[in-house]
């Protein structure tokens, strides 16, 4: 059984037992969280799509780690104008271990 969940402004397809990295969630490592924004639940050829959410569906996950992605380097330049700007960004993430998909 799989589910399409929405967290951090993005959508993820999750299956019980897998690990995913999502936008940072305010939770401690080892804490169990419940995601109730489930857009669709499927099992094989059977698919249940919500309008916009599936009523009563939840996804249970455990926080494995909090961290930051690799640095993305930003470089802006205007030719012949003596303008250069260097910047870097590291996006924070939360790694989740999906425990169960409840339909």
Q: Region 23-45: what's the mean pLDDT?
A: 95
- pLDDT at position 103: 86
Dist CA 58 CA 41 (whole Å): 10
pTM for the full predicted model = 0.85
Cβ atoms of 59 and 35 closer than 8 Å: yes
- pLDDT at position 102: 93
Strands 83-89 and 72-78: antiparallel
Q: Residue 35: beta bridge partners?
A: 59
- The overall average pLDDT reported for the chain is 96
pLDDT band per the 50, 70, 90 thresholds, residue 24: very high
């Amino acid at each position: 059984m799989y589910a399409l969940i929405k967290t951090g402004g993005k959508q993820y397809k999750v299956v019980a037992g897998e690990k995913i990295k999502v936008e940072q969630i305010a939770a401690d490592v080892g804490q169990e969280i419940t995601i109730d924004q489930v857009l669709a639940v499927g099992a094989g050829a059977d698919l249940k799509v919500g309008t916009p959410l599936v009523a009563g569906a939840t996804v249970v996950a455990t926080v494995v780690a909090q961290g930051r992605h690799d640095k993305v380097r930003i470089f802006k330049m205007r030719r012949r104008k003596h303008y250069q700007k260097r910047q870097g960004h590291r996006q924070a993430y939360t790694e989740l271990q999906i425990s169960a998909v409840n339909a």
